[in-house]
Structure 1
């Protein structure tokens, strides 16, 4: 006799709520503020680069033109910490302040999105995120 795990059918996309949601959104505010503070205090880069680059990661929504799966994967790549962190470290090691600035603005964008409740996407729908459904 074998015991199989019961199968569950999700009626909604899992998402964080309550106090953990408030903490995650406040972490977004902290990331936004810290990345911008580091940009303006630590780098000699022009201020106008921030508004020019701030929404560039949203270009990665283009994946949704192909499918929800491709869109979520591409969007999540651009809206998670590893890529801008690696870019920032490489730019620091190579002494490339412009690319350091790009990495900081990229991190600021992620922080801004998280603070506003735009989380990482599930493959089900653009509005389904780890921070809850957008527009609720």
Structure 2
């Protein structure tokens, strides 16, 4: 199926653009993790906070629409970038550390194919369908 047909039927990016977005995620993860190391943040804080954005899964207890809103709020670049910017100007170093960890988490999620969610359900993302709801052979593997 041509890329444009795939996108029209699934609402997800595909092909080379999907690969580029996943590589951007990997770059963000690696960059923020290295920057955190150079920054000198404690690695135990990184380990404790790295999976914290995934607590947003709890939003799905209120249904697909609310779940997608909560998940996307915690997995969008906007809040951690605002936090990092504010941290450089007005806040203690821990604020910048939290922002770097949060961005690293989002980057790894994107690299693994976990995109922003559609309200149709957790498996439907802007990077394609994931998990059991994905077409055969097309979940978090190559498309």
* TM-score > 0.5, shorter chain as reference: yes
**Stretches of structure 1 lacking an aligned partner (at least 5 in a row):** 1-10
TM-score (norm 1): 0.88
Aligned length: 125
**Stretches of structure 2 lacking an aligned partner (at least 5 in a row):** 1-7, 132-138
Aligned residue number for residue 99 of structure 2: 103
> Would you say the 8 A contact 1:60–1:78 is kept in 2?
yes
TM-score (norm 2): 0.84
Question: For the pair shown, which has the larger CA radius of gyration, 1 or 2?
Answer: 1
Aligned residue number for residue 123 of structure 2: 127
In 2, Cα distance between equivalents of 1:114 and 1:22: 10
Moved over 3 A (4+): none
Structure 1 or 2: more helix by fraction: 2
| 1:42-84 superposed Cα distances (whole Å, 9 cap, x missing partner) | x232111111111000001111000100000010000010000
In 1, Cα distance between equivalents of 2:10 and 2:83: 32
Tell me the C-alpha RMSD between the 2 structures.
1.3
Q: Report the secondary structure of 2:122's partner residue.
A: coil
Q: CA deviation at 1:116?
A: 0.2
